[in-house]
Amino acid sequence: MRIDGGFVVAMVVLGSCLARGQEAGAAKPNVVAKHAIVLHAARLLDVAAGKIVTPGEVLVEGERIVAAGSSVEHPAGAEVIDLGDMTLMPGLIDAHVHLFLHPGAEDLQTVEESVPERTIIATLAAKADLMAGFTAERDMGTEGAGSADTAVMRAIDDGLIPGPRLRISGNAVDILGGHEDANKYNPAQHVLSNADYANSADEIVAVIREQHKQGSTFVKMYETGPDSEPTPEQQQGKPAVGGDPEFWAFHSPYQYTEAQLKAGVEEAARLGMNVGVHAQGEPGTLYAAEAGVASIDHATQLSDETMRLMKEKHIPAVPTFTIFEYFAEHSTGAAAEREHAMLEYKIHEFKRQVAAGIPMAVGSDVGPFPHGTQAKEFELMVRYGMTPAAVLQADYLNGARILRWQGEIGELKAGYYADVVAVPGNPLEDITAVERVEFVMKGGVVYRQRVGSSQ
């Protein structure tokens, strides 16, 4: 798919310049400083140790970190940015976003809005996420916009527009009549699926090859769908909670067998990519773990065997609490009751997963709710059972691995990309600090600075 990117780029660069004019002390857009920069703040997060270093400093040269710790060398001519009573942290990672979605009826926007229009919206979403401190993201499907995310990723990489480092999948991979197919529409209208069809192992391989040709850097597959089916009890108006105390009345049909998923995993690996799956419940979550996917997203229902395999193979769950809470709070009537029941069930199961010690990563499913607000995911994961240190390590260490940037992002260490944010207070004591990012640097470029001073 090709679109005229000139108008997109012009509009976004104009918006970027106007917005950046309101940021105190912000550097020139998309220009890496030729001189060394020293970031100084009251605190620095040591991700691996899960502790705070006081004070904190980071030495940046070009797009990389040269040194980080309580003090660093101040080379002659270095610019010193004093951020005051802040905590320096690596740029945040969101392992599950949808840049091509916005609040509103998801199925209608993918039908009514053109791909060029949705691409413009995606560039604005990317900027909003970056300004909120997210310097790396995995876009989990364009929802019918095909490979338009390739244009967004390349524009960001080329410095034409502001946005996070991206891993992109193009459309997700789905079966005929599956999770993102246009199942409720009049068949005579031939409404297109929001995903790419693949109904066998051979078709999965063919679709992955085509998507890679168009620029994808990982594979998104739907392993379950619909998210849950009403049980006979629910259809009779009885409470959703009942029966097995661990699994209640939850049911989510699988779409691909373990062998089919494995074919996708192996083909993705051949191309230097990995596979993230939308998988809500059993047995689909088990098949995903057996196939060795990179992550199980949503992961609402995991059996003991699935959790054992996830620990053994280090496959993180990506809970996406924020989208569940958003739907619960913004639905009405019977839909609201269902969404609240789903959220309660998810909380119940998440606590089991935390107790089992499975790997976690942080992904919000932002898109159906406003971009730039997804840092609440950290708050919810703490609220429902994890410590702030554990959530931050899940985000940075497992998130970097899922995005295949381990050793380059997720820590403030020499040789890593200079992706740095600053937040007020101590995030290990108050995780909501990550929702109040005051400073954003990506690759040595300052995109946001509302505190501190430069010398």
Express each pLDDT in 323-338 by its tens digit.
999 999 999 998 898 8
In a shared domain, residues 60 and 113: no
In a shared domain, residues 276 and 161: yes
Predicted local confidence at residue 21, as pLDDT:
35
Average pLDDT of span 301-324: 97
Q: Could you tell me if residue 389 is inside a domain?
A: yes
Considering only the C-alpha atoms of the chain, give the largest distance between any 2 of them, rounded to a whole number of Å: 75
Structure tokens at 88: 């320096």
The one-letter code for the residue type at 308 is R
Q: How far apart are CA 267 and CA 136, in angstroms?
A: 24
In a shared domain, residues 229 and 305: yes
Contacts of 404 (CB under 8 A, 6+ apart): 167, 218, 273, 274
**Where does residue 339 fall: left (phi above 0), alpha (psi -120 to 50 degrees), or beta otherwise?**
alpha
Residue with token string 């050793």 = 407
Q: How far apart are CA 271 and CA 430, in angstroms?
A: 41
* pTM assigned to the model: 0.91
Predicted local confidence at residue 248, as pLDDT:
52
pLDDT at 277 over 70: yes
Between these two residues, 30 and 431, which has the higher pLDDT value?
A: 431
Q: How far apart are CA 408 and CA 400, in angstroms?
A: 8
In a shared domain, residues 74 and 185: no
Q: How far apart are CA 262 and CA 205, in angstroms?
A: 10
Helices (H), 43-166: 106-112, 115-131, 148-157
Q: Could you tell me if residue 288 is inside a domain?
A: yes
Q: How far apart are CA 124 and CA 102, in angstroms?
A: 11
Q: Could you tell me if residue 270 is inside a domain?
A: yes
In a shared domain, residues 361 and 440: no
pLDDT of 388-445, one tens digit each?
999 999 999 999 999 999 999 999 999 999 999 999 999 999 999 999 999 999 999 9
pLDDT at 114 over 80: yes
* CATH number of the domain bearing residue 41: 2.30.40.10
Q: Could you tell me if residue 134 is inside a domain?
A: yes
In a shared domain, residues 187 and 272: yes
Total domains in the fold of the chain: 2
- Can you give the residue range of the structural domain that contains 444? 32-91+410-454
Q: Could you tell me if residue 26 is inside a domain?
A: no
Q: How far apart are CA 393 and CA 316, in angstroms?
A: 12
Q: Could you tell me if residue 8 is inside a domain?
A: no
Q: Which of 402, 427, 444 is the last residue of a domain?
A: 402
In a shared domain, residues 74 and 159: no
354 within 8 A of 386, measured Cβ to Cβ: yes
Structure tokens at 213: 């040709």
pLDDT at 29 over 90: no
pLDDT band at 242; cut points 50, 70, 90: very low
In a shared domain, residues 165 and 310: yes
pLDDT at 100 over 80: yes
- Percent of the chain at pLDDT > 70 equals 87
Rg of the chain, C-alpha, whole Å: 22
pLDDT band at 230; cut points 50, 70, 90: low
Q: Could you tell me if residue 301 is inside a domain?
A: yes
51 within 8 A of 392, measured Cβ to Cβ: no
